[in-house]
């Protein structure tokens, strides 16, 4: 990586100051959020086909996906709840891969939330009433980060485990191909 600091202390100092200032706007870490008050998304779309204009996505999705704390929590919970047992570190095993562009039941965070809670007929267990709602959001957000869908700035930059794939922050962003549809995207990408 080329460094602007090399041979120019002035610029380096300026950058350092900017960084300090930027630090004042650190994300809000909801370490004391009340999971009991969190709820899941409303009914999710299972298709990209809809009459008229698409419905706006649940704004909480952006909150979870753009927040490093939530993504880091999601990463830990992904292992603790045995997600890794079936999906490995995203390459898949008993369950499908999560780092690729294929999404059977939708790639949106609301769809992933619904998949975790409801389960799916071909082997995905239902975690309904087993994982607190906020933690499901965190896991769903982390799952999005595995294929580069979440904010790069907030995505985990390293793993504590044996080196496997690149960390979420370095994963190339896949273009999700939803075979069963997803949350309508306001960018009109669907």
Partner 1 sequence: MPPAAAAPADDGNWVMPAKNYASTRYSELDQIDTRTVGDLRVEFTFSTGVERGHEAAPLVVDGTMYIVTPYPNRLYALDLTQPGAPVKWKYEPKPAAAAQGVACCDFVNRGAAFSDGRLFFNTLDNFTVAVDAATGAELWKTRLGDINKGETMTMAPLVVKGKVLVGNSGGEFGVRGWLTALDAGTGKIAWRAFATGPDSDVLIGPEYQPFYAKEKGKDLGVTTWPPNQWEIGGGTSWGWISYDPELDLIYYGTANPGPWNPEQRPGDNKWTGGIFARNPDTGQARWFYQVVPHDLFDHDGINELILLDMPVDGHPRKVVVRPERNGYVYVIDRGTGEVLSADLFAYVNSSSGVDLKTGDLKYVEAKQPHMGQVVREICPTAPGAKDWNPSAFSPRTGLIYIPHMNVCMDWESIEANYIAGTPYVGANVRMYAGPGGNRGELSAWDPVKRAKAWSIKEDLPLWSGTLATAGDLVFYGTMDGWFKAVDARSGVELWRFKTGSGIIGQPVSYRGPDGRQYIAVLSGIGGWAGAIVAGDLDPRDPTAVKGFAAAVPDLKERTTKGGMLYVFALPRK
Q: Which of 38, 63, 100, 133 binds partner 1 (CB under 8 A)?
A: 100
**Cα-flanking dihedrals φ and ψ of residue 9, to 5°?**
-70, -30
Q: Which is nearer to partner 1, 180 or 185 (CB)?
A: 180
Distances, alpha carbon 147 to alpha carbons 21, 73, 74, 75, 100, in Å: 31, 17, 14, 13, 6
Tell me the per-residue interface mask from 29 to 68 with partner 1, x by CB under 8 A, - otherwise.
----------------------------------------
Smallest separation (angstroms) from partner 1 to the CB of 166: 8
**Cα-flanking dihedrals φ and ψ of residue 177, to 5°?**
-110, 105
Q: Which of 153, 145, 32, 150 is nearest to 78 (CA)?
A: 145
Q: 167 near 159, Cβ under 8 Å?
A: yes
| CA–centroid distance for 64 within its chain | 7
Contact range with partner 1 by CB under 8 A, out of 6-14, 29-37, 116-124, 175-183: 116-124
Q: Which is nearer to partner 1, 50 or 80 (CB)?
A: 80
Rounded Cα gap, residues 182 and 122, in angstroms: 18
Rounded Cα gap, residues 190 and 186, in angstroms: 9
- Which residues inside 66-95 make contact with partner 1, applying CB under 8 A? 79-82, 85-86, 88-95
Smallest separation (angstroms) from partner 1 to the CB of 129: 13
Q: Which is nearer to partner 1, 12 or 97 (CB)?
A: 97
Q: Which is nearer to partner 1, 69 or 81 (CB)?
A: 81
Binding residues for partner 1, rule: CB under 8 A, are 79-82, 85-86, 88-97, 99-100, 102, 119, 121-125, 161-162, 164-165
């Amino acid at each position: 990586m080329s460094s602007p600091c090399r041979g120019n202390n002035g610029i380096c100092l300026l950058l350092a100051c900017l960084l300090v200032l930027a630090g004042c706007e650190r994300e809000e870490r909801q370490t004391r959020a009340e999971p009991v008050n969190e709820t899941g998304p409303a009914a999710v779309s299972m298709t990209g086909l809809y009459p008229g204009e698409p419905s706006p996505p649940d704004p909480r999705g952006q909150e979870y996906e753009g927040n490093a704390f939530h993504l880091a929590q999601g990463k830990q919970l992904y292992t603790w709840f045995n997600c890794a047992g079936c999906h490995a570190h995203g390459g898949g095993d008993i369950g499908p891969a999560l780092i690729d562009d294929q999404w059977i039941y939708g790639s949106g965070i609301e769809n992933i939330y619904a998949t975790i809670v409801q389960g799916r007929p071909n082997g995905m267990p239902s975690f309904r009433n087993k994982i607190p709602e906020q933690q499901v959001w965190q896991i769903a957000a982390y799952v999005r980060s595995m294929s580069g869908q979440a904010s790069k700035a907030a995505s985990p930059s390293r793993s504590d485990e044996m080196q496997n794939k690149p960390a979420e922050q370095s994963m190339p962003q896949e273009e999700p191909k939803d075979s069963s549809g997803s949350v309508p995207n306001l960018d009109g990408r669907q």
